[in-house]
């Protein structure tokens, strides 16, 4: 993995001579790309004071990334502030063409609409929002009326968000496993409960995406842990509204073999989550070869969202700039 000297990063981050004009910025980036140094353009730009107030138009944006990497609405708050609308504009200016917000359902309804309207204005996509992810409860693995009642309530809440905003994908974690029930019976119950959920969501054009999570580092006790397992369940549910979100951080811990598992489960994968391992920080900080993975996904003409569900290796504005630089590196194929 190629890395850039730390002093080059800090030099760009601390530059005070960069012109704030977005016309000059675009010319600078194009010259950098032509010189084989596109990786340094992001941090140099971000170091300029008043970058938000200096924004002019969409046509002045930096070159779009090849894939739809999606920062969270708070990932660049040191540069863009706390306003989600300013964050969307900032992400677009940095070349991102999608965002995600796990907590969309918890936001005020008028803000939900405002966020999605702003994304449509800039032609940006939106990653899956979290519909159901209870890490403490045994739910989907049980065949009980009270579980169905709870799931119906949750799914209808998700449908209302989708109708209000136009969001297309809702993330579901099927909860904990039951130590007193054979795994195969639990799998059968998960399949039936998902079919029940699909009956509710798919009429409104909403797709459930199942997220397998690792039980070694982050989430012990959960039922759904691997891509092969999620693939088996989606094939058994056999509904267009039940797919997979492949979180490559979790899967590196659980099973590795990331590209072969993507190939095997390709038809059931609707979205990806990104995070390096160990540490769950931006790409280039761990052992996952995201440059090759993203190149492979791009060559398969994937048009979905890849949510940047990770932290930052450095604090403050320097850390945010490093995130953007890292994505320029792994998008350079």
Return the half-sphere exposure (C-beta side, CA atoms, 13 A cut-off) of residue 117.
7
For residue 130, CA distances in Å to 43, 104, 149, 270, 290 come to 31, 7, 19, 14, 24
The CA-based angle 194-166-75, given to 5 degrees, is 90
C-alpha 289/C-alpha 279 separation (Å) is 15
Please write down the HEC assignment for all residues of 280-318.
Answer: CCCCCCCCCCHHHHHHHHHHCCCCCEEECCCCCCCCHHH
Residue 109 exposed, middle or buried by CB count within 10 Å (0-12, 13-18, 19+): exposed
Q: Which residues contact 41 (CB under 8 A, 6 or more apart)?
A: 28, 29, 32, 33, 62, 328
Has 78 been annotated as catalytic? no
- Residue 232's DSSP bridge partners are none
Token pair, residue 232, equals: 């088996």
Residue 149 exposed, middle or buried by CB count within 10 Å (0-12, 13-18, 19+): exposed
C-alpha 245/C-alpha 235 separation (Å) is 15
Catalytic residue among 268, 309, 320, 329: 309
Has 309 been annotated as catalytic? yes
Q: To which H or E segment does residue 85 belong?
A: helix 84-93
Cis peptide before 278 (omega within 30 of 0): yes
Catalytic residue among 211, 268, 282, 320: 211
Which residues participate in catalysis according to the annotation? 211, 309
């Amino acid at each position: 993995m190629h890395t850039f000297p730390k002093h080059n990063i800090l030099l760009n981050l601390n530059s005070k001579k960069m012109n704030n004009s977005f016309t000059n910025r675009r010319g600078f980036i194009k010259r950098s790309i032509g010189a084989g140094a596109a990786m340094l353009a992001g941090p140099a730009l971000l170091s300029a004071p008043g970058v938000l107030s200096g924004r002019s138009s969409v046509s002045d944006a930096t070159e779009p990334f090849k894939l739809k990497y999606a920062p969270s609405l708070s990932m660049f708050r040191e540069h863009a502030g706390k306003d989600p609308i300013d964050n969307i504009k900032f992400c677009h200016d940095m070349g991102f063409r999608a965002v995600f917000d796990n907590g969309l359902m918890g936001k005020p309804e008028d803000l939900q609409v405002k966020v999605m309207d702003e994304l449509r204005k800039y032609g940006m996509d939106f990653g899956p929002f979290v519909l159901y992810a209870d890490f403490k409860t045994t739910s989907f693995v049980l065949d009980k009326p009270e579980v169905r009642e709870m799931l119906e309530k949750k799914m209808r809440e998700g449908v209302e968000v989708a109708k209000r905003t136009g969001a297309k994908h809702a993330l579901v974690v099927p909860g904990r496993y039951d130590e007193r029930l054979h795994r195969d019976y639990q799998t059968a119950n998960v399949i039936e409960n998902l079919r029940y959920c699909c009956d509710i969501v798919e009429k409104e054009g909403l797709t459930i995406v199942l997220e397998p999570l690792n039980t070694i580092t982050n989430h012990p006790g959960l039922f759904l842990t691997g891509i092969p397992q999620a693939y088996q369940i989606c094939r058994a549910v056999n509904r267009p509204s039940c797919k997979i979100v492949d979180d490559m951080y979790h899967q590196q811990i659980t099973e590795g073999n990331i590209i072969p598992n993507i190939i095997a489960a390709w038809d059931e994968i609707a979205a990806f989550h990104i995070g390096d391992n160990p540490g769950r920080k931006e790409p280039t900080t761990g052992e996952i070869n995201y440059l090759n993975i993203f190149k492979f996904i791009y060559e398969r003409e994937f048009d979905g969202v890849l949510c940047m569900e990770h932290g930052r290796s450095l604090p403050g504005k320097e850390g945010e700039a490093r995130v953007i630089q890292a994505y320029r590196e792994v998008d350079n194929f």
